[in-house]
Amino acid sequence: MLALVVDDSRAMRMILGRVLAHLGYETVQAENGQQALEVLTAGPLPDVALVDWNMPVMDGLEFVTAVRANPDWRAITLMMVTTESEQSQIVRALAAGAHEYVIKPFTPEAIAEKLELLGVLPAGVSR
Amino acid sequence: MSVGLAPLGPVGQDQLASIVDAVWTCALAAAEPPVPGTVPVAPGPWWRAEVGITGVWDGRVALECTQAAAVTAASYMLARSPEFVDEVDVRDALGELANVVGGGVKSLLPERNQLSLPTVHPLAEASGPGPAAGCRLALTWHGEPFVVTVAQADVEGT
């Protein structure tokens, strides 16, 4: 399975990349929502995208909205991974089309649990 | 108009310590946790990373640490040997730590607030952390000082 990690921090992309690699994913990365849209356009499409909220150029909410507006990208599972923890923001993200929401700081177990709930853990992975 | 710092904050030291502990567990999983320390007087190159919070509560959350602590943090977060950590790595790692700590502080505030993108900059040589303001947590991490401050903005004048 392929996961897209969208975060303006390279360190956080690497941390999430390590978690996802441990779970059996291949990963691609983008520094912001605009770059992530370019990754989707270039293909191949990821099975799941882990998306930060606060990013320069295009933020995570704008990215989620853009992905959901494109029928070709409907199959991509979207999970916000962000420091934004206000209830109103969680509601906004889910209303925009995010499937799940993880608040930083997270544990690897929390990421795995959410991915399992979403049914996008690679086959044969035990967490 | 000038913006100073009032000795008020939305969190106590215990709450701030819990946030820092959780952030270190997430971002620096392989590292030893920070332990309580004292605000150092020792000079040396220092870094400051901060995020602003605006809305119901206006203020900022700052991390200040030595060059050695900054390199160690970046080394853990990027899974890279310290000798291969450069300034870009330090800025990125400290910025993300400030972002996540700031998010933790914001989560304790009443809605609604906005979190800024982090800014990271070196402090003047031999300056060390600034004067105490708001809630300050002095830590020692890998033998190096690491200071976390939450301070409310105090708008003075017009």
3-state helix/strand/coil string of chain A: CEEEEECCCHHHHHHHHHHHHHCCCEEEEECCHHHHHHHHHHCCCCCEEEECCCCCCCCHHHHHHHHHCCHHHCCCEEEEEECCCCHHHHHHHHHHCCCEEEECCCCHHHHHHHHHHHCCCCCCCCC
pLDDT tens column, A45-81? 999 999 999 999 999 999 999 999 999 999 999 999 9
Residue B35 pLDDT: 86
Q: Which residues of B touch A104 (CB under 8 A)?
A: 23, 26, 99-100, 103
Interface of B with A in 16-55 (CB under 8 A): 22-23, 25-27, 29
Helix axis angle, A10-22 to B67-78, nearest 10°: 40
Residue B41 pLDDT: 64
> How much is the mean pLDDT over chain A?
95
| Closest chain B residue by Cα to residue A14 | B78
pLDDT tens column, B77-109? 999 999 999 999 999 999 999 999 999 999 999
Asked if residues A30 and A36 have their Cβ atoms less than 8 Å apart, the reply is: yes
Beta bridge partners of B150: B61, B135
Count other Cβ atoms within 10 Å, centred on residue B82: 12
**Alpha-carbon distances of B56 from B10, B115, B138, B154, rounded to whole Å:** 11, 12, 27, 13
pLDDT tens column, A81-96? 999 999 999 999 999 9
A9 and B96 within 8 Å at the Cβ level: the answer is: yes
Interface of A with B in 79-108 (CB under 8 A): 82-88, 103-108
How far is the C-alpha of A76 from the C-alpha of B132, rounded, in Å? 48
Q: What is the pTM of this model?
A: 0.89
| Closest chain A residue by Cα to residue B25 | A107
Asked if residues B10 and B57 have their Cβ atoms less than 8 Å apart, the reply is: yes
> How much is the mean pLDDT over chain B?
84
Q: Tabulate helix, strand, coil % of chain B (nearest 5).
A: 30, 35, 35
| Closest chain B residue by Cα to residue A19 | B26
